[in-house]
Structure 1
């Protein structure tokens, strides 16, 4: 009930009591009229309009700063009466007014409004909040309609022109960069129905007692491993983490565009799902860099490691440089310094210092001799 409704109800009770106690029927009549008005207001507000709500996000996944729109259609599915309601739609932390004036049975109204994409993250849109009140303003009742549609705002992507070169490993441990394709033996595994018979390694199969199949690898095709440092301690300014996410997204998109295998890993969490969605959900937190590097060393997931972090983790570069054996090429992007010139750190890794994602892209393309 509104303040007016509470006041009217209190006045009705006072008038009825005074009328019966002191023998003033006129006061009792006025109190009864006020009480009846309050009851009618409650009954009026309790009527639940039947509304159908449909949402269409155009698009539902968008880069940071790119335009996105939400189209909301509200349909009156009741058969008897028109609806004049006050409705607002939730858009992230904001609300958008939706006019529902004399919405007749079977008719609908459509409202389109822009979705704010200035920040990376998931923006929940909805539900529609409908407020129904009586003409006297005594009672106000809010209900929700429809579900919630998420709009994914991906990190801003900066075009990268340069890509790492492949590395060929020989049995004696030597590592060479190769300009052309080089198919080489990688490992053995058990035979699975559908494998080509010509790939069966008969000598190993005879020793093991089961059919073993050769796994081959194109070592000229670089396999890129992107490691995003999502530890809060690495970023003195939270905005620096946004730039690191932009750099990770730019590297992933460039690798996919060139048809190169790429993997995304986070220090404090496991990356599951589409890479850009993972980067959209990523938030600074806690993590163990040493444990993550040990797993990367043990599994040797590629030949090119891209480590992205902030100025708060400069002291950890030695741990990353220790992976120079399993990962012949290591590139470290450090965000928080205005110097964007690439620096080769002792022949062990390439260090790129950048203030934001734009400077990182320019410095990345300036690296020579991957």
Structure 2
């Protein structure tokens, strides 16, 4: 939609006034001036509403990048017509910011590419594009914002520090009651029959189910001797403190997943990502942390962690009250080892029996302290 400038609004008001005055008083001169003003406004609408006839596409490489690492966008503009297209200036949206791009004149069916660096200082999922064009008429009466072209997505992951993989936790058989999660895989205990996904072992194919459903089906087994590593992130934090906590959690789950450990990421705000481990598990874990927002709930420990527990647990927080300490202390019989990373002073978390409490200044310090434990 066209927006009139201050000058354009003045011309519109003067045109209306002269038209009324000329029509009421019978002065053709005023009507002629009003007609000229109306014609100028119509021409401004036509000029500003004209959309450049170009095809716009873009690529982002890499599409997932660690916070602070370089990422580049390639903007391709092609003239599909058989006539020459004039040069124009546009802005390419990158999240909430706009990058100015000057597009040179293009001959028939010609194409040009523009490369520019993307900002990666802020964690999150950022939309790149569409191309935004600010069109204005030569008289400055109006302007219009037009968008064209496709969009791409840039995932800025948390910063991952090198951590040694977590050691093996306390194995617990899945028949020991409801306290143990039944989603572990790998033994001769059948959990379910599910559809085949790439990477499953052929020897686990269930031929009867395959014939019945028409799709490849495999047996999914439980491994009671393969405890998972769980990270609990305190998402009640805000600002830089939350970013350091997210970086710490990202470093922990990345180390565990890359070591082929079943890895689970839980936040106090309701996030729950459970993976089977392996390099492929790192992306969904980091994607979840990429879009994590602060939560407002009062509790540090979600109820889901009090119902099941297998393997080790690392809690990433910045301190809390006696209720938080009691909730974490209640988990020590379900998880082994139990570690608490406290950003700042340990405070009320100091001295939890059976737990290792580490006071750290940030994610880098947490990685250093974790590696020093030799887990």
User: Does 2:280 align with 1:277?
Assistant: no
5+ residue gaps, structure 2: 177-184, 196-201, 206-218, 274-282
Cross-structure match for 2:333: 325
Determine if contact 1:330/1:350 at 8 Å carries over to the other structure: yes
CA distances 1:21-65 after superposition (whole Å, capped 9, x unpaired): 667655554443333233223223333332322111111111111
SS of 1:311 mapped into structure 2 = coil
Determine if contact 1:15/1:30 at 8 Å carries over to the other structure: yes
Q: How many positions carry a matched residue from both structures?
A: 335
Determine if contact 2:301/2:328 at 8 Å carries over to the other structure: no
Determine if contact 1:162/1:364 at 8 Å carries over to the other structure: no
Cross-structure match for 2:362: 356
Determine if contact 1:86/1:132 at 8 Å carries over to the other structure: no
Which residues of 2 match residues 124-203 of structure 1 at below 5 A? 124-161=127-164, 163-169=166-172, 189=191
CA distances 1:236-282 after superposition (whole Å, capped 9, x unpaired): x5321111111111011111222222111122213358100111111
Determine if contact 1:19/1:25 at 8 Å carries over to the other structure: yes
- Tell me which moved more, 188-197 or 138-147: 188-197
Determine if contact 1:91/1:124 at 8 Å carries over to the other structure: yes
- 1:365 Cα deviation (Å)? 1.2
User: Does 2:270 align with 1:262?
Assistant: no
- Provide the C-alpha distance between the structure 1 equivalents of 2:126 and 2:116, rounded to a whole number of angstroms: 14
Determine if contact 1:166/1:222 at 8 Å carries over to the other structure: yes
Q: In terms of Rg, which structure is larger?
A: 1
- Tell me which moved more, 39-48 or 185-194: 185-194
Cross-structure match for 1:115: 118
5+ residue gaps, structure 1: 174-182, 198-212
Given candidates 50, 63, 87, the residue that maps to 2:53 is: 50
TM-score, with length taken from structure 1? 0.77
- Tell me which moved more, 245-254 or 16-25: 16-25
Given candidates 55, 76, 80, the residue that maps to 1:77 is: 80
Q: CA RMSD in A?
A: 3.6
* Distance change in 2, residues 1:114/1:312 (3 Å): farther
SS of 2:320 mapped into structure 1 = helix
- Provide the C-alpha distance between the structure 2 equivalents of 1:24 and 1:33, rounded to a whole number of angstroms: 15
CA distances 1:269-311 after superposition (whole Å, capped 9, x unpaired): 1335810011111111133647724x324232x2111111112
- Provide the C-alpha distance between the structure 2 equivalents of 1:308 and 1:246, rounded to a whole number of angstroms: 10
- 1:159 Cα deviation (Å)? 0.4
Determine if contact 2:94/2:127 at 8 Å carries over to the other structure: yes
Cross-structure match for 2:214: none
User: Does 2:244 align with 1:243?
Assistant: yes
* Distance change in 2, residues 1:90/1:348 (3 Å): same
Cross-structure match for 2:229: 224
TM-score, with length taken from structure 2? 0.76
User: Does 2:97 align with 1:94?
Assistant: yes
- Provide the C-alpha distance between the structure 1 equivalents of 2:118 and 2:326, rounded to a whole number of angstroms: 43
SS of 2:272 mapped into structure 1 = coil
Determine if contact 1:49/1:78 at 8 Å carries over to the other structure: no
